Structure 1
Amino acid sequence: MAGPNEVDRTIHSHTTGAAAETAAAHQSEKPLKLYAGWFCPFVQRTWITLNEKNIDYQYIEINPYHKDPDFLKLNPRGLVPTLGVPVPAPVTSANANGDSNDDVTNNASAKKERKLKPIYESIVIAEYLDEHYSDTTKHGPRLLPSGDDSLAAYERARCRLWIDHISSRIVPAFYRFIQHTPEKDGQYTIDDAREELLKQMKVFFQEVIDLDGEREEMGQASGPWFLGKRFSLVDVTLIPWALRLFLIDHYKPSGVGIPEEGKGGEDEEVWRRWRGWFGKVRERDSVMSTMSAREKYIEVYQRYAEDKTGSQVGQATRGGKSMP
């Protein structure tokens, strides 16, 4: 597999705008560490989750194409986001039995020792954070429905189904669209790419709207978020790519193609829901505080628009493979 090319190696190296302020506020040494690449939408999923749940962490910028050796020791795969999690050292059976006073002392020391362990894959990280930082008085509402009853279990499963739809349908369609070049017309046209992205977005927002009223029957409010009035991990999963749709408008003829208000035809209600949801996205502090300057995204995504990137995502899209 080809490695990073010069286009990738020369990208801007740090956050700007609101994201720079957020990163600066999280530079001090903390047990929990976020290894991030400022431009990466997968990283933004994790960053939103950390800020949404008011979790204390240290932000560490990683250039994915100039990986620090210490970072590779932590996560040899070199993926961002990576969460460095302080995990207690295991207690030996001898210490656990308390065989002597020395053993008791050693046991106490062992409990205090913590080793940094990596968690990666943005959805896995988000679920870990939601589960581990579950005290709602400190960390706000859970991002996935909690509870042991059958309805809560069903709602968690439903959330995960639509998280999968975003990750396996909408996100690949985004990259297929932005990486289209005229040379690809023999494989698929730009109109094909646009149609696929809009189709998968409509499938998702049709579910959010719930036109058949099933959610009202279950006592749940409709909108503005996937779980009604409650912001959730489903919303977090989609937000980074929703915020980057302007790049397709910038780089591709005729842009994304989302119809203007009142011009959606039979899909007007779906796009009305999209507009309401996206408006709320742009008002949410945990989201906008993790965005860098617009012009820097335009600059860094040119490599995707010209299909020159050597990133794992870019290579997967180019080769018709699933997301890494």
Structure 2
Amino acid sequence: MPDKIDPPHATGAAEQTVQKHSSPHDLVFHAPFVQRVWIALEEKGIPYEYKEVNPYKKEPHFLKINPKGLVPALEHDNKALYESLVLLEYLDDAFPDSAIRPRNPHELGLVRLACQQISNVVVPAFYRYVQAQEADKQKEGHEAFVKALREVHEQWFVVGSEWARGDKFGWVDCVLGPWVARFTLLEKHRGFKPEDVGPEFKAWCDKLLDRPSVKATSSLPENYENVYRRYFENTAESEVAKATRKGEWLK
């Protein structure tokens, strides 16, 4: 019988941010441990209520919000949406004065393409890498993950810019940022280092981890260790883990 799994909670700086957003509000952010939308909320500086979902015991109300039972999800004026890229779009549509997406339509199209590539290529490569058990599979996973990151960096990052697409922190930084926050786990368990991708990418990673919105939404390292331990052991039973074992990706 599997050992008891405690539901994850925000800790450290993330817990302090949760406490600041514990009062009822008409904009409700459902988490935990999902940073893309949370980083965007902090960047935008808009009021919201944070609610933690127990991923191992989802309440009926949350399943009405997202039938998949996955976070992140938002409720705004009693209407619900989910999926992180959709939520980034929605937040900038609903609160345009604090939009973090580009105004130029062509640039916005490029940003959307970059975000899709991160979600459809980089993130699945991350999970295949962490769930690989045999040495040869881990080596393949390492090479594939580095390749995926390098292609995103070479294709979509603006050379010499402060952030991914220029001098303004934006969607691409939000979408890739949470995985950078998990690189310490990859270094510990798989030997990955961001400099494997390249020195410019490593410099961006360092700057991103020092960004106030990223710091404010990051929990203590030991909490990520607890959450991802079962992935590194390939015993996790999440929908993402099961899809990865089948060679698929969760849609």
Bin for the TM-score computed over the shorter chain: over 0.9
- Measured in 2, the distance between the counterparts of 1:278 and 1:310 equals 30
Aligned equivalent of 1:256: 192
Aligned equivalent of 1:231: 169
Amino acid at match of 2:27: L
Aligned equivalent of 1:205: 153
Matches within 5 A, 1:1-324: 6=2, 10-37=5-32, 39=33, 43-86=34-77, 116-135=78-97, 139=98, 142-146=99-103, 152-182=104-134, 189-208=137-156, 210=158, 222-252=160-190, 255-259=191-195, 271-324=198-251
- Measured in 1, the distance between the counterparts of 2:13 and 2:158 equals 34
Q: Could you report, residue by residue, the CA deviation over 1:211-246 in whole angstroms, capped at 9, with x for unpaired residues?
A: 6xxxxxxxxxx3121221111101110000111011
| Mapped contact 1:72–1:78 kept (Cα < 8 A) | yes
- Measured in 2, the distance between the counterparts of 1:170 and 1:52 equals 23
SS at match of 1:181: coil
Task: Please state how far the C-alpha of 1:75 moved relative to its aligned partner.
Answer: 3.0
Amino acid at match of 2:53: I
Task: Please state how far the C-alpha of 1:286 moved relative to its aligned partner.
Answer: 0.8
Q: Name stretches of at least 5 consecutive residues in structure 2 with no aligned partner.
A: none
- Measured in 1, the distance between the counterparts of 2:105 and 2:8 equals 42
Amino acid at match of 1:246: T
The alignment-based identity, stated in percent, is 38
Q: TM-score, normalising length from structure 1? A: 0.73
Greater Rg, structure 1 or structure 2? 1
Count of aligned positions: 251
Task: Please state how far the C-alpha of 1:74 moved relative to its aligned partner.
Answer: 3.1
Amino acid at match of 1:22: T
Q: Name stretches of at least 5 consecutive residues in structure 1 with no aligned partner.
A: 87-115, 147-151, 212-221, 265-269
Q: CA RMSD in A?
A: 1.9
Task: Please state how far the C-alpha of 1:6 moved relative to its aligned partner.
Answer: 4.2
Task: Please state how far the C-alpha of 1:77 moved relative to its aligned partner.
Answer: 2.6
| Mapped contact 1:181–1:307 kept (Cα < 8 A) | yes
- Measured in 2, the distance between the counterparts of 1:273 and 1:207 equals 13
> More displaced, 222-231 or 298-307?
222-231
- Measured in 1, the distance between the counterparts of 2:239 and 2:48 equals 27
Q: Could you report, residue by residue, the CA deviation over 1:11-68 in whole angstroms, capped at 9, with x for unpaired residues?
A: 343211000000011111101101112x3xxx21111111110111110000111112
SS at match of 1:47: helix
- Measured in 2, the distance between the counterparts of 1:73 and 1:161 equals 30
Task: Please state how far the C-alpha of 1:117 moved relative to its aligned partner.
Answer: 1.6
Aligned equivalent of 1:96: none
Call closer, same or farther: CA 1:27–1:307 in 2, change over 3 Å. Answer: same
Task: Please state how far the C-alpha of 1:323 moved relative to its aligned partner.
Answer: 2.7
- Measured in 1, the distance between the counterparts of 2:194 and 2:105 equals 34
Task: Please state how far the C-alpha of 1:134 moved relative to its aligned partner.
Answer: 0.6
- Measured in 2, the distance between the counterparts of 1:46 and 1:6 equals 32
